[in-house]
């Protein structure tokens, strides 16, 4: 037989299971699994992700012919189980068609419900159910969804309403009603007619009437949606490969819109925003799934406690809540009990927080989906630690459950408490995704992207968001919506992105055409500042000050747990006492790179520095350096003090000299006056310092070797600071690092300057201090000759920024001109300056470490390029046996967790 492309499930049986997510997608695999563990699921089948690949290789026609027999058989299986017939007029089977990739991509691809209806079937469905309103409501939804997804009915301009919604508004207006469910059967019939006419007018296509034609159209549309713009963007953000493809699940429809004993909803076994161990979710009586997420009707809470919390935030009284918005627990207690039992069963089975969709059809509960829920970084940490404490998972699993990069969210600034007290609360919405956001109001995704590119911070304000808004949401500081609940598109996507979001702020009156939002008489325009508190749902007018986050609670516990497993140490790159302190609070055990050039850039220092560079001879340079010395020494003292007791690697001056000299006339005149020389002299010197390839020019130890006075001054400042602290009883461990070494002799000459100056200083002071002299390994030649270099150098620090530059031959400063094309064409999978190229640059790191340690077994090796804070690169550093990684302060917890995970994976 040809390979199997379709897997059926239903009635407690399934051809697939949870472990087959690569082939069946997350949704398909879990639908099969739910059948196997006794959770009620409507019967159906899943077309594999391999078929998606075939679809893109062979095209639509070929794939449909490959699938035809299996799909028809699988439909027959559903017909048997449901005792109805696909396309039949008197006893019709209707199906849903949904996407489902290996990794969940909520809302990014397409879904079609109620498929199988046409003008005759709808009459048959009316007769069968005796419920004309339901039949016609289902039909108008189907035409609307199919028209949008398969036939491509979209708004023409971004300010325009959805073409179908516009027709609904028009019909409601003519009838003088406000809500969709106030429309009567005749109105629904009218809508269907108008929808079809609009489809014909805009797309030139007739609406298909044959059930199988509809089905193939829908299946192909789901495959097509794998390559829609937002799905591609989402995959890029989440690092999901394009090759994976999506599966397609086709299932018998069950209906939440059959009357007051029917309902539909979305629920979570724990709180996806905070991680609190509290079952929660939203539902609507007499509705279909998309109503809950689309924010058209205000969904109600599933649990009573959730409902009461909601009412408090929404300013709704208890009486009003209980009568108008009762929870499912109150309104459908029997069903609620079943739902609660099944959600517990699913969480226990998967041992993780579940995000579930369900429908109640005339008093019977069905599950349509379960998946490990998307969550914020804070929730990720809390849920992992709670599951561990509750005995559901072990320590190692808890550590592996947290994505290191997600910790970044816990380090984002929070609102300053005193600033909050002063701030004016404009309105409130739901606390959909925690965090603090301040920015300028924009209403459209493309404006958000444009303003962001121009360096502005923006908050996206929308009536509701849709998957088309993804690119805007990705760059916004926060998202505010007028409609939609905790499971709305905005809320779910924002939580996935770790972005602050306040949803369903009903007091907002947004006018897209005028680009304004009015709240209780306050009118805000595009560009005005607004602030959001995603943890409380509060919305403030103007800017609110923020302060840095802290490492505490579950986060601190997780880090402690990480330390139990890590072998790799984590240091920080820091150039100021403040950065050193921040990093130390995040658990850094030393400084791996202190870039001294950053200390020369301000005030009087830059003047003295310029004087040194522009001087005619060594004598002039020494005079200028003597002015810099006290500044440097004070700077080092501050840093050593902040890192007392820990090693601090100070790198000697590295950047090209022309970066320091003035290129403007005013600055040049100032230097001429200061130094008592002519403007012409200064200009000639500045010109002579210009280089064609400054990155490959007069920098690093080439400076120290041509101007040893600089090395002497810096050595004196470093060790002088350490000696002063020694007198104060503060312990220091200075490590002096030579940058950009390529040749052993380059290093040796610098080393002898350093040691000679140290001896001189120690003699002058009458005291000494232990220190090490080592080198950056950032030039391929240094890596290739690492055994020779290790004969003199006491430690290696891999400067993978320069090492990447010189291994690939890509300029660090100019890669932007071709990188996007390289990524697009998949010549490069990722930016090698962000993610360490393990096959190339990584091999140099591995080889140099091995060669170096062959000569000097206790050679301390670390990495201090940007890769030191990137999880996959950190894991590589663990594998090759480095002693430490060094990264910017806010990446320290991320590196610590990645280091623990590397040890566990080993």
Known binding-site residues equal 595, 651, 778, 799-802
**Chain residue at closest Cβ approach to ligand PEP:** 799
**Residue with the two structure tokens 């040749």:** 743
What minimum distance in Å lies between the beta carbon of 800 and ligand PEP?
5
Order of strands, sheet of 364-372, starting from the edge strand that comes earlier in the sequence: 300-301, 280-285, 263-268, 354-361, 364-372
Q: Which residues lie closer than 8 Å to 82 by C-beta, 6 or more apart?
A: 43, 93, 252
Choosing among Mg ion, ligand PEP, none, which partner's interface includes residue 800 (Cβ < 5 to 8 Å by kind)? ligand PEP
Does 800 engage in binding with ligand PEP (CB under 6 A)?
yes
Q: Smallest Cα–Cα separation from 724: which of 592, 594, 636?
A: 636
Indicate whether 802 belongs to the interface with Mg ion (CB under 5 A).
Answer: yes
Choosing among Mg ion, ligand PEP, none, which partner's interface includes residue 533 (Cβ < 5 to 8 Å by kind)? Answer: none
Q: Judged by CB under 6 A, which of 802, 810, 851, 895 binds ligand PEP?
A: 802
**Could you give the CA distance from residue 193 to residue 200 in angstroms, rounded to a whole number?**
11
Instruction: Report 721-750 residues binding ligand PEP (CB under 6 A).
Output: none
Give whichever of 378 and 776 is closer to ligand PEP, judged by the CB atom: 776
Binding to ligand PEP, residues 767-796 (CB under 6 A) = 778
Q: Does 593 bind ligand PEP (CB under 6 A)?
A: yes
- With CB cut-offs between 5 and 8 Å by kind, which of ligand PEP, Mg ion, none does residue 864 bind? ligand PEP
Beta carbons of 503 and 430 less than 8 angstroms apart: yes
263 conformational bin, left if phi > 0, alpha if psi -120 to 50, beta if neither: beta
Compute φ and ψ for 46, nearest 5 degrees: -125, 130
Residue 865 interacts with ligand PEP (CB under 6 A)? yes
Applying CB under 6 A, among 595, 726, 856, 879 the residue interacting with ligand PEP is 595
Smallest separation, CB 876 to ligand PEP (Å): 15
Task: Examine residue 848 and tell whether it contacts ligand PEP (CB under 6 A).
Answer: no
Residue 654 in contact with ligand PEP, rule: CB under 6 A:
yes
**Choosing among Mg ion, ligand PEP, none, which partner's interface includes residue 128 (Cβ < 5 to 8 Å by kind)?**
none
The option from ligand PEP, Mg ion, none interacting with 593 (CB < 5 to 8 A, set by class) reads ligand PEP
Q: Where are the beta strands (DSSP E) in 158-278?
A: 246-252, 263-268
Number of amino acids touching Mg ion (CB under 5 A): 3
For the stretch 617-622, contacts whose Cβ atoms lie closer than 8 Å and that sit 24 or more positions apart, written own/partner, are 618/707, 618/709, 621/707, 621/709, 621/710, 622/709
Catalytic positions are: 489, 864
Shortest Å, Cβ 532 to ligand PEP: 35
State the pairing for strand pair 354-361/263-268: antiparallel
Contact between 866 and Mg ion per CB under 5 A: no
Q: Which is nearer to Mg ion, 597 or 635 (CB)?
A: 597
Q: Shortest gap between Cβ of 145 and Mg ion (angstroms)?
A: 55
3-state secondary structure at position 772: strand
- 832 lines the binding site for ligand PEP (CB under 6 A): no
DSSP 8-state symbol, 366: E
Q: Residue length, the chain?
A: 906
Touching Mg ion, residues 776-795 (CB under 5 A):
778
Q: Quick one: which of 29, 31, 46, 26 has its CA closest to 102?
A: 26
For the bound state, the minimum distance from the C-beta of residue 890 to ligand PEP, rounded and expressed in Å, comes to 17
CB of 471 to ligand PEP, least distance (A): 30
Q: Which does 595 bind (CB under 5 to 8 A by kind): Mg ion, ligand PEP, none?
A: ligand PEP
Residue 106 main-chain phi, psi, to 5 deg: -55, 125
User: Measured from the CB of residue 810, what is the shortest distance to Mg ion in angstroms?
Assistant: 14
E strand intervals along 472-607: 478-481, 500-503, 508-511, 516-519, 522-525, 529-533, 538-541, 546-547, 569-573, 591-595
Within 588-696, strands assigned E span 591-595, 647-651
Among 502, 864, 897, 898, binds ligand PEP (CB under 6 A): 864
- Quote the CA–CA distance of 793 and 756 in Å, as a whole number: 16
CA distance 561 to 889: 20
Nearest CB to ligand PEP, comparing residues 689 and 737: 737
Q: Are 351 and 345 in contact (CB under 8 A)?
A: no
Binding residues for Mg(2+): 778, 802
Pick between residue 110 and residue 654 the one whose CB is nearest to ligand PEP.
654
Structure-block tokens of residue 424? 């004016």
For the CB of residue 394, give the shortest distance to Mg ion in the complex, in Å.
Answer: 41
Output 510 or 836, the one with its CB closest to ligand PEP. 836
Contact pick of 53, 308, 397, 801 for ligand PEP (by CB under 6 A): 801
Show contacts of 190-199: CB within 8 Å, 24+ apart: 191/140, 191/167, 192/136, 192/139, 192/140, 192/143, 194/167, 195/140, 195/143, 195/144, 195/147, 195/164, 195/167, 196/143, 198/147, 198/153, 198/163, 198/164, 198/167, 199/143, 199/147, 199/151, 199/153
Which one of the spans 145-153, 327-335, 742-750, 774-782 is the region binding Mg ion (CB under 5 A)? 774-782
Q: Which spans of this chain sit near ligand PEP (rule: CB under 6 A)?
A: 593, 595, 654, 778, 799-802, 864-865
Residues that bind Mg ion (CB under 5 A): 778, 799, 802
């Amino acid at each position: 037989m040809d390979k199997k492309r379709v897997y059926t499930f239903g009635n407690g049986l399934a051809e697939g299971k949870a472990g087959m997510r690569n082939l069946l997608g997350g949704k398909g695999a879990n639908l099969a699994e739910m059948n196997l563990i006794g959770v009620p699921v409507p019967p159906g089948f899943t077309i594999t992700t391999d078929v998606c690949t075939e679809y893109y290789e062979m095209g639509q026609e070929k794939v449909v012919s490959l699938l035809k027999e299996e799909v028809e058989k699988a439909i027959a299986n559903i017909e048997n189980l449901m005792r109805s017939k696909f396309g039949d007029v008197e006893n019709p089977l209707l199906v849903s068609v949904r996407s489902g990739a290996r990794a969940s991509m909520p809302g990014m691809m397409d879904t079609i419900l109620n498929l199988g209806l046409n003008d005759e079937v709808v009459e048959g469905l009316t007769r069968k159910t005796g419920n004309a309103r339901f039949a016609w409501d289902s039909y108008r939804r189907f035409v609307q969804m199919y028209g949008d997804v398969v036939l491509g009915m979209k708004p023409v301009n971004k300010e325009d309403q959805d073409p179908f919604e516009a027709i609904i508004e028009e019909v409601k207006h003519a009838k003088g009603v406000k809500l969709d469910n106030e429309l009567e059967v005749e109105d629904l019939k009218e809508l269907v007619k108008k929808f079809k006419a609009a489809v014909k007018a805009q797309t030139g296509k007739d609406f298909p009437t044959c059930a199988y034609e509809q089905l193939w159209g829908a299946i192909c549309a789901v495959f097509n949606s794998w390559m829609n713009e937002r799905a591609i963007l989402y995959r890029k953000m989440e690092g999901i490969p394009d090759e994976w493809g999506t599966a397609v699940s086709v299932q018998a429809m069950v209906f939440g819109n059959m009357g007051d004993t029917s309902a539909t909803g979305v629920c979570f076994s724990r709180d996806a925003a905070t991680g609190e161990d509290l079952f929660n979710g939203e539902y609507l009586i007499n509705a279909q799934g998309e109503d809950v997420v689309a924010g058209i009707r205000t969904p109600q809470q599933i649990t009573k406690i959730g409902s009461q919390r909601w009412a408090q935030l929404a300013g709704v009284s208890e009486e009003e809540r209980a009568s108008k918005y009762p929870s499912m627990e109150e309104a459908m207690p029997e069903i609620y009990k079943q739902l609660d039992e099944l959600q517990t069963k699913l969480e226990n089975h998967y041992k993780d927080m579940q995000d579930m969709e369900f429908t109640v059809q005339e008093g019977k509960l069905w599950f349509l989906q379960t998946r490990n829920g998307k969550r914020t970084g804070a929730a990720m940490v809390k849920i992992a630690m709670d599951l561990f404490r509750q005995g559901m998972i072990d320590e190692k699993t808890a550590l592996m459950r947290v994505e290191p990069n997600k910790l970044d969210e816990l380090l984002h600034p929070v609102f300053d408490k005193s600033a909050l007290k002063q701030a004016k609360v404009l309105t409130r919405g739901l606390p959909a995704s925690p965090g603090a956001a301040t920015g300028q109001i924009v209403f459209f995704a493309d404006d958000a992207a444009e303003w962001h590119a121009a360096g502005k911070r923006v908050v996206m304000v929308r009536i509701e968001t849709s998957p088309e808004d993804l690119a805007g949401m990705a760059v916004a500081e926060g998202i505010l919506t007028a409609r939609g609940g905790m499971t709305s598109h905005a809320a779910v996507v924002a939580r996935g992105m770790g972005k602050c979001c306040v949803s369903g702020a009903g007091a907002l009156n947004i006018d897209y055409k005028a680009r304004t939002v009015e709240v209780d008489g306050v009118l805000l325009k595009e560009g005005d500042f607004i602030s959001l508190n995603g943890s409380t749902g509060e919305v403030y007018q103007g800017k609110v000050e923020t302060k840095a986050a802290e490492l505490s609670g579950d986060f601190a516990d997780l880090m402690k747990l990480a330390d139990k497993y890590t072998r790799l140490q984590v240091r920080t790159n820091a150039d100021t006492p403040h950065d050193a302190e921040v990093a130390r609070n995040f658990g850094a055990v030393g400084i791996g790179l202190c870039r001294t050039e950053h200390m020369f850039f301000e005030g009087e220092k830059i003047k003295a520095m310029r004087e040194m560079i522009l001087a005619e001879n060594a004598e002039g340079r020494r005079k200028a350096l003597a002015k810099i010395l006290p500044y440097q020494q004070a700077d080092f003292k501050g840093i050593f003090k902040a890192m007392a007791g820990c090693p601090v690697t100070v790198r000697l001056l590295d950047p090209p000299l022309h970066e320091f000299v003035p290129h403007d006339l005013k600055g040049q005149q100032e230097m001429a006056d200061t130094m008592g020389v002519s403007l012409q002299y200064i200009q000639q010197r500045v010109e002579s310092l210009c280089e064609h390839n400054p990155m490959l020019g007069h920098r690093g130890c080439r400076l120290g070797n041509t101007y040893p006075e600089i090395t002497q001054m810096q050595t004196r400042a470093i060790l002088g600071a350490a000696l002063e602290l020694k007198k104060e009883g503060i312990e220091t461990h200075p490590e002096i690092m030579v940058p950009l070494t390529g040749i052993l002799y380059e290093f040796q000459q610098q080393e002898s300057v350093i040691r000679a100056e140290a001896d001189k200083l120690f003699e002058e002071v009458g005291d000494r201090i232990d220190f090490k002299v080592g080198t950056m390994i950032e030039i391929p030649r240094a890596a290739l000759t690492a055994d020779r270099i290790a004969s003199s150098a006491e430690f290696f620090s891999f400067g993978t920024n320069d090492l990447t530059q010189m291994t690939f031959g890509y300029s660090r400063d100019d890669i932007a001109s071709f990188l996007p094309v390289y990524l697009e064409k998949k010549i490069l999978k990722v930016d090698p300056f962000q993610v360490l190229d393990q096959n190339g640059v990584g091999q140099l790191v591995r080889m140099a470490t091995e060669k170096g340690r062959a000569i000097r077994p206790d050679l301390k090796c670390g990495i201090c390029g940007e890769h030191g804070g990137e999880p996959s690169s950190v894991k590589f550093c663990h594998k090759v046996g480095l002693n430490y990684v060094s990264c910017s302060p806010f990446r320290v917890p991320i590196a610590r967790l990645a280091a623990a995970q590397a040890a566990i994976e080993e």
